[in-house]
Amino acid sequence: MTDPIFSANWLMPCFEEKTSATEFFRPFRLKGAVKSAVLCVSALGVYEARINGEKISWPLAPGWTAYQHRVQYQKYDIAQYLQEENTLSVTVAQGWRMPYGFQGVTPVKTWTTPEISGDEYALIASLHIVYADGSEELLLTDEGWTAKETKYRSCNLYQGDVYDETFEEKTHGVRILEHPKKILVPQEGEIIAEQERLKPIAVIHTPKGETVLDFGQNLTGYLSFSLTVPAGKTLVIDHGEILDRDGNFYNENYRSAKSRIVYTGDGKTRAWKPAFTFYGFRYARLTELPCAFEPDDFTAVVLHSDLERTGYFECSDEKINRLYHNIIWGQKGNFLDVPTDCPQRDERLGWTGDAQVFARCAAYNFNVNRFFRKWLSDMSLEQLSDGRIVQIVPRLDWVSPACGWSDAAVIIPWQMYLLYGDRELLARQYVTVKRWIDYTYEKGEAYIRGKHFGDWLAMDAPDPKSCRGGTDHGFIAYAYRAYATELFIRISRALGMRENETADYEEKLCMTKAAIRAEFFSGGMVTLPTQTAHVLTLQFGLCESAYAQAHADRLAGMIRANGDRLTTGFLGTPYLLHVLTAYGYAELAYTLLFQTKNPSWLYSVERGATTMWEHWDGIREDGSLCGADMNSFNHYAYGAVGDWLYGTVAGIETDEKKPGFEHIRFVPKTTERLAFAKGSVKTKYGVAASEWHREGDTVRYVFTVPNGTTATAEIEDGSHTLGAGTHTFTVKIS
């Protein structure tokens, strides 16, 4: 049975409205005892639904999808809230339909018709009541509803909130919007939910004389406060991620996003929080404060997709533990319905490259299967007719593909398969993957030599101002095409296809490798002098196997010659420690992990980071910033190293032949720099766990294998086959 929302009407207010929020409401009276009452709601925009004043919807519903193709609707069981006389009200604001996009100038695509522009909003809802006597009643959005102006005078994801307690809320009629209902789909993704609530850890009086609240953690969400702001007086709050080198409030890195709360009081004590916006911040400057306050009057409410936490990691080194904490918070901050690059500046977009490099780590930390399923549906819908995968999903007007970004279409479903055994997703995405790979071959040279981001933000660009790294883009494009083709073959095999069915792609893979070798290799070795070129050569199997070790040796030499430091960017970094480990350089991988000089993971940790930074050197040694224009302190990409913490330090690895941890590979690499390490992953079978303790010349390993799975442990004294249960091994190390 289709949900009754399809019989309802899209409503718009009968007054010109874009930036503020409008409440649509409808009183109704029950005819008797209620057996069930199900409310379906959606909006072009975001909504908050209330029954008799009680909020019953999830934050920022209906979420963010490729709006030009589909909008989710949500279902709420509201029977428990009903009385004899009721009012159903839904307040709607622009949400992601505002001119959202890159630096606020290139808007995200939405379904715009002559009747509704991309930045206007509309509501649709149905309430289906079944009475105890079996009779039914259907309440649909129609002309019987009323629209009311609200105190939310402006709510804008980038600019923030303007709220006026003294505003007189006038009522108006509504009009029906002729807009297709076929774009409505049931909720596919995880819901967004309020999570932690943090209190200020300090009230800072800065050298400039500002009053700044420090919540101790860079986060995504909003402030909630309880204050008595005098009537007509205005409280202004600005958000920031860091303090500048002098200890003053700083948020120039938000670019054009003002991220400001402007709240006008009415003399009464009121508890308030935003409802249609979110902010990325650690610090809140009380820019204009017309009343007394206690720090406790403020709370930072953390907001993200309601993902189940599945992974845990801990070791004997506090800095590594802090790095791990920052990785987790980088994910929390950027998994808000869509995997975003950052949560604070005028961007906050579904950049495919960032998501791709972090997806594996993300899937250890939290159960992101459903989250990515939803986003990958949007990616498929946004795929262009020629097979192109765009760089940002939901997409803007930009449609050029980029290697390592568009390849998210292949890499993410594959990671979901490895981590969750989601074969059905592989089958669902198969056509998208194939069309993307075919595009890269059909366009050939034009694609390879096209515009790419390259090894984004790598430290080896000849021009230090360039973001695009020092590794040739043609090489990277070939390398990723080879990798994507290889994964496509593996995806086809996982779906039961035979060798003859993938023969074409085997041939294409050989062709790509031959082209790379012809242009970028000499004497069996890649000629490009960058770490990333060597990392990708090894990780993607681009050289002949006889030359693999020589590449690893050279990579190790380059790292050592650079003072035991990496130079890699977004594309090289995620695989760096993996390839070192695979070729006998686990100890050097640890050296990079423990490195504190720039560039390194612990460099930001030593500078007090609480999330992952976009740049290795977002804050320079002398305290100056590497720039204001593109300098986020909550960008998860370099947090991809978390999969090495789980997979190599704790040593819990997937097995492609039995994905989803049906078979677990315990492959920990211990180091004398750590006394212990432990990790666990909640799989669909139960918790898989690994820990080790180094005690003198022995290592004690403890492996936990959940019921229904098997495991193999590769440790110093050989390989052990393990059944369900807990297994302890004590081995001597030389």
Catalytic residues: 347, 614
What's the min distance (Å) between Cβ of 109 and ligand BGC?
18
Question: Measured at CB, which residue is nearest to ligand BGC?
Answer: 341
Kindly state the DSSP code that residue 549 receives in the 8-state scheme.
H
Token code pair at residue 605:
């940790």
Q: What are phi and psi of 24, to 5 degrees?
A: -105, 130
- Whose Cβ is closer to ligand BGC: residue 151's or residue 635's? 635
Residues 6 or more apart in contact with residue 275 via CB below 8 angstroms: 21, 48, 59, 91, 93, 152, 155
Residue count at the site for ligand BGC (CB under 6 A)? 10
Task: For Cα atoms 498, 540, 413, give the angle at the middle one, nearest 5 degrees.
Answer: 60
Choose which of 17, 347, 455, 486 interacts with ligand BGC (CB under 6 A). 347
Binding span for ligand BGC by CB under 6 A among 283-291, 349-357, 371-379, 674-682: 349-357
- Cα torsion angle, 644, 648, 650, 655, sign: positive
- Whose Cβ is closer to ligand BGC: residue 350's or residue 668's? 350
What's the min distance (Å) between Cβ of 330 and ligand BGC?
12
Amino acid residing at 66: A
Binding span for ligand BGC by CB under 6 A among 237-245, 351-359, 586-594, 605-613: 351-359
Instruction: Residue 155: count other Cβ atoms within 10 Å of its Cβ.
Output: 25
- Whose Cβ is closer to ligand BGC: residue 347's or residue 407's? 347
CB 30 within 8 A of CB 163: no
What's the min distance (Å) between Cβ of 66 and ligand BGC?
18
What's the min distance (Å) between Cβ of 630 and ligand BGC?
6
- Whose Cβ is closer to ligand BGC: residue 338's or residue 688's? 338
346 lines the binding site for ligand BGC (CB under 6 A): no
Binding span for ligand BGC by CB under 6 A among 192-200, 289-297, 348-356, 648-656: 348-356
353 lines the binding site for ligand BGC (CB under 6 A): yes
Question: From CA 345, how far away is CA 259, in angstroms rounded?
Answer: 8
Binding span for ligand BGC by CB under 6 A among 104-112, 340-348, 359-367, 485-493: 340-348
Binding span for ligand BGC by CB under 6 A among 156-164, 341-349, 418-426, 477-485: 341-349
- Whose Cβ is closer to ligand BGC: residue 356's or residue 383's? 356
CB 158 within 8 A of CB 101: no
CB 261 within 8 A of CB 286: no
Report the SS3 class of residue 323: helix
Owner of token pair 């939901």: 394
Q: What are phi and psi of 75, to 5 degrees?
A: -120, 135
What's the min distance (Å) between Cβ of 346 and ligand BGC?
10
What's the min distance (Å) between Cβ of 635 and ligand BGC?
6
Q: Mask: binding to ligand BGC, 452-491, rule CB under 6 A, as x and -?
A: -x--x-----------------------------------
Question: From CA 500, how far away is CA 257, in angstroms rounded?
Answer: 54
Token code pair at residue 59:
């934050």
Report the SS3 class of residue 538: helix
Token code pair at residue 193:
């939910």
Q: What are phi and psi of 101, to 5 degrees?
A: 150, -165
The DSSP string of 43-71 is EESEEEEEETTEE-SPTTBT----TTT-E
- Whose Cβ is closer to ligand BGC: residue 283's or residue 453's? 453
Question: From CA 614, how far away is CA 255, in angstroms rounded?
Answer: 15
Choose which of 341, 617, 653, 691 interacts with ligand BGC (CB under 6 A). 341
- Whose Cβ is closer to ligand BGC: residue 13's or residue 454's? 454
Query: What is the separation, in whole angstroms, between the first and last Cα of the chain?
Result: 68
What's the min distance (Å) between Cβ of 398 and ligand BGC?
10
Question: Residue 60's Cα: distance from chain center in Å?
Answer: 16
Choose which of 48, 346, 354, 378 interacts with ligand BGC (CB under 6 A). 354
Using CB under 6 A as the binding rule, the residues of this chain from 615 to 654 that contact ligand BGC are 630, 635
What's the min distance (Å) between Cβ of 104 and ligand BGC?
13
Choose which of 96, 100, 222, 351 interacts with ligand BGC (CB under 6 A). 351
Binding span for ligand BGC by CB under 6 A among 66-74, 224-232, 339-347, 676-684: 339-347
Report the SS3 class of residue 624: coil
Please report, as ranges, the residues that interact with ligand BGC according to CB under 6 A. Answer: 341-342, 347, 351, 353-354, 453, 456, 630, 635
